[in-house]
C-alpha cells in the first residue's frame, strides 16, 4: 500500500470516528434531556425546572456540532479540491452560526436562571 493510499484510508477512519463521536454526543444529550424532562415534569409542575435541562442540552448540541465540524475539516485535510474547500467553508459558516446562536441562548438562559435563583424574578418559561 502506498503512503498516499494509507493516508487516505487513515483519514477516512479518523473522519468516521470523529463523526460518530459527534453523533453519539448529540444522541446522548437528547436522551438525557428527554429523560430529565419526564422525571422533572412528573416531579414538579413548574416550567422553571426545564431551563437547566435546556442549558445542558444546548451544551451537548454545541459539543456535537464541534465534533461534526472537526470531521468536516479532517475530510478536506488530505488533498482538498476547490469544491471541497468551498463546501467546508459553507458548512463551517453554518455550524459556527449555529454554535454562536446556541451559546448566546445558553448564556441568556443561564443569566435568567441565576436572576431567578437570586431574586425570584427570573422568567420561568
Write out pLDDT tens, residues 93-117: 988 888 888 888 888 888 887 877 7
Write out pLDDT tens, residues 34-93: 999 999 888 887 777 888 888 899 899 989 989 998 998 888 876 678 888 888 888 889
Q: Is the confidence at residue 118, as pLDDT, over 60?
A: yes
Eight-class DSSP state of 80: -
CB of 115 within 8 A of CB of 125? no
Other CB atoms closer than 10 Å to residue 118's CB: what's the count?
9
Q: Residue 119 — pLDDT band, cuts 50, 70, 90?
A: low
Q: Is the confidence at residue 1, as pLDDT, over 70?
A: no
pTM for the complete prediction? 0.71
3-state secondary structure 28-61: HHHHHHHHHHHHHHHHCCCHHHHHHHHHHHHHHH
Q: Residue 124 — pLDDT band, cuts 50, 70, 90?
A: very low
Amino acid at each position: 500500500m502506498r503512503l498516499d493510499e494509507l493516508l487516505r484510508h487513515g483519514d477516512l477512519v479518523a473522519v468516521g470516528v470523529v463523526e460518530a463521536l459527534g453523533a453519539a454526543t448529540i444522541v446522548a444529550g437528547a436522551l438525557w434531556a428527554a429523560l430529565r424532562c419526564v422525571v422533572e415534569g412528573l416531579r414538579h409542575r413548574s416550567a422553571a425546572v426545564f431551563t437547566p435541562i435546556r442549558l445542558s442540552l444546548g451544551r451537548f448540541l454545541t459539543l456535537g456540532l464541534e465534533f461534526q465540524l472537526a470531521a468536516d475539516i479532517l475530510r478536506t485535510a488530505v488533498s482538498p479540491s476547490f469544491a471541497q474547500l468551498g463546501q467546508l467553508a459553507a458548512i463551517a459558516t453554518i455550524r459556527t452560526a449555529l454554535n454562536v446562536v446556541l451559546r448566546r441562548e445558553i448564556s441568556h438562559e443561564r443569566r435568567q436562571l441565576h436572576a431567578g435563583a437570586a431574586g425570584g424574578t427570573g422568567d420561568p418559561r
